Every structure is written in C-alpha cells, then in structure tokens.
Structure 1
Amino acid sequence: MKELYIKQKILSINEKFTVKDQQENDVYYVEGSFLKIPKSFSVLNAAGSEVALITKKVFSFLPKFHVEVNGQEVLTIKKELSFFKARYSIDAAGIEVQGNWWDMEFEVSQYGEVVGKVNKEWFKWGDSYKVQVLNEEMETIIIAIVVAIDCVKADQAATSSATT
C-alpha cells in the first residue's frame, strides 16, 4: 500500500499544488488553467510529463468533466438534473466510486476490487486529502479522480456563490 497526500494552498491564484508521498517528496504536480476556456487541470509526474488531464466541457446544458489518463478517457463526472440538491454521477468502465465523495470520504473500486481510499484531512489549512493506493497500477487514475472531484466541488461552490 502506498500513501499520498494532496494539499491545496488557500488563495492560490495560479491553481498549482503538489501530491506528496509519506516522505514529503513531490510525486505529482497539478496545474490548473487559470482564466482559460475550457477549464482544465493537468496532472504531471515528477519528470514533468502529463499523465492525466481533467477538462470541463464548455457547451453542455449541465456541467460535465472528462478525465483522461495517458491519453485515454477513463471517466466522466456529470451533474444530474435536480431541483433541491446538487447531484453528480460518475461514468467509467469498470471503475466505481463508493462512499461520500462529496465530502471526500470514498473508495475507488475497479471491477469490484477496492484499489484506493480517499479521506479528507480535517483541521488543516486548505483542502488536504490522504490517498491510499492499494493497487499501484491504478495510482494515476486515483489521483486524477481526486483532482476531478475536487474540481467539480470548486465549480459547484463558485456557481453557488455567484447565484446568492
């Protein structure tokens, strides 16, 4: 099992943050497309190569985010029509997210086998997540899922604050 930590900085203008291992070494770098359309986040490995891309679809009735890992689309997160509370669904071949992913407390499964666990770390400045990778072949996908869900949450928060 491998543990990784995602820590976003509060009030980060450039939308950049790192994913660290237990020894505080940088494993991945996440870079957002500040003020660009379509909104996207690139996940780069330690060598600086892009390994995942999260993109918000521009022309869509309801928000939709696509997640690509190594050039292959692995899942889509989309908002469902709902009148009272925001509801999102995740579409992926063989990949399921179970638990309370809105509060960042969930497990990632592939074909019924748990491959990763995500827990929000409370009492920290900014958003901090502990990611347990149980199947290292799925590491990049799990990191991309966490970044994508966090992106969806940030988009929802921005939309909510703009309407109030």
Structure 2
Amino acid sequence: MKLLFKQRAFTWFDSYDIYDENENTVYVVKGQLSWGHCLKIFDANEAHELGTVKQEVLTWRPRFELYEGEACIGHLEKEWSWFKPKYNIDFNGWHVEGDFAEWDYTITGPDGRTVATVSKEIFHWTDTYILDIADPDDALYVLMFVLAIDAEKCSRN
C-alpha cells in the first residue's frame, strides 16, 4: 500500500493531507496549539479522530508519544548517531533508520522484515513523502512515525 503525505502550505499550524495511490484523501492531519508539536489525525471526512502525535518537552533527546484514540500505544525517540538518523520505537519492536540526507527511511520489525519505506520527494513547495507500507493494517502507525520524524526535523531546523 502506498500513501502520499503532503504538507499544506500557508497554515498557522502544521497541517497535512494523506492520499492513497488513486489520489483519494485517506487521512487529514491538523496541528494543535500546544507546547511542543501536537498533531491530530482524522479520517478523510474529519469526522473521527484516529490518533495523536504529541511531543514530550523537557527531554534530553527528542521524544514523541503516540496515541490511538485515547490510548498511548508507544513512543518514538531519536537515538544519538554520527551519520545516519536513527529512531527507537517503543511499539511492536519496530526500528527506524534513515539515510545521510534524512530523506529516506526504513521501518523494520523485530525480525528484520521491512514494515515500510519512506521517501521524501524533493522539488516540492512543502514537505512531501511517499510511504510504501507492507501491511495496510499498519498504515496509521507508520503515518504516526513519519509525522513524529518530520516534527523532530522541524524542531531541529
């Protein structure tokens, strides 16, 4: 399953539209006023809140809490590394590693299988990513991790 993750331009808070391969809106992401990043994920009609990515503040390394509905399902924390960005995910034993330019990422499971690959599209006005997800049931979770990584990069820059 492939998703196109596209940031909206000219908004007060972070806002994204997530499309499927047929250019149908699958998710809508809206930033909320908070201390640190707080991103709410809604269905295509914006009728139901599906998840939240919330930055923890006052931590040594960037760390994000991930919620499905009201339940905290895990965390994403940036690991210290020299050349390639790495993130530890406290969810299903997943791990994220990026390339030197921080444009492409691979999410792997505890058994080493690829859960998803994420590629940043360059030459776009706003942040745009292609998410190639092995299991469609993991789409919301992969989206949460990509949002957290994008927010972490935004906080650094």
> TM-score per shorter chain, which class?
0.7 to 0.9
Partner of 1:37: 35
Aligned equivalent of 2:26:
27
**Partner SS, residue 103 of structure 1:** coil
Q: Residues 66-77 of structure 1 correspond to what in structure 2 (within 5 A)? A: 66-70=65-69, 71-77=71-77
Partner in structure 1 of residue 90 of structure 2: 92
Question: 2 CA distance for matches of 1:43 and 1:13?
Answer: 17
Equivalent residue for 2:55?
A: 56
Alignment RMSD (CA, Å): 2.6
The residue that corresponds to 1:161 in the other structure is none
Which ranges of 4 or more aligned residues in structure 1 deviate by more than 6 Å?
A: none
Q: CA 1:106–1:39 in structure 2 vs 1: closer, same or farther (change >3 Å)?
A: closer
8 Å contact kept, 2:76–2:145: no
Correspondence for 2:153: 153
Corresponding position of 2:140: 140
Aligned to 2:16: 17
Q: Displacement of 1:122 after TM fit?
A: 1.3
Give 3-state SS (helix, strand or coil) of 2:35's partner. coil
Q: CA deviation at 1:64?
A: 2.3
Identity %: 22
- Can you list the C-alpha shifts for 1:31-69, whole angstroms capped at 9, x where unaligned? 1113x2253111112243222211111333443222223
The 3-state SS of whatever aligns with 1:123 is coil
Q: Which runs of 5+ in 1 are unaligned?
A: 158-164
Work out whether residues 64 and 79 of structure 1, in 8 Å CA contact, stay in contact via their aligned partners in 2. no
In the superposition, the TM-score normalised over structure 1's length comes to 0.79
Q: Which has the larger radius of gyration?
A: 1
Deviations 1:95-137 (A, max 9, x none): 1113328613011122222121100111121111001111112
The answer to whether the 8 A contact 1:14-1:32 is kept is yes
Mapped partners of 2:31, 2:87: distance in 1: 23
1:69–1:144 Cα contact (<8 Å) kept: no
Residue 47 to residue 33, structure 1, CA distance change in 2 (3 Å): same
**Against the structure 1 CA distance between its residues 131 and 101, is the aligned structure 2 distance closer, same or farther, given a 3 Å change threshold?**
farther
When normalised by structure 2's length, the TM-score is: 0.82
Q: Measure, in 2, the Cα distance between the counterparts of 1:40 and 1:122.
A: 25
The answer for unaligned runs of 5 or more in structure 2 is none
Q: Which structure is higher in helix share? A: 1
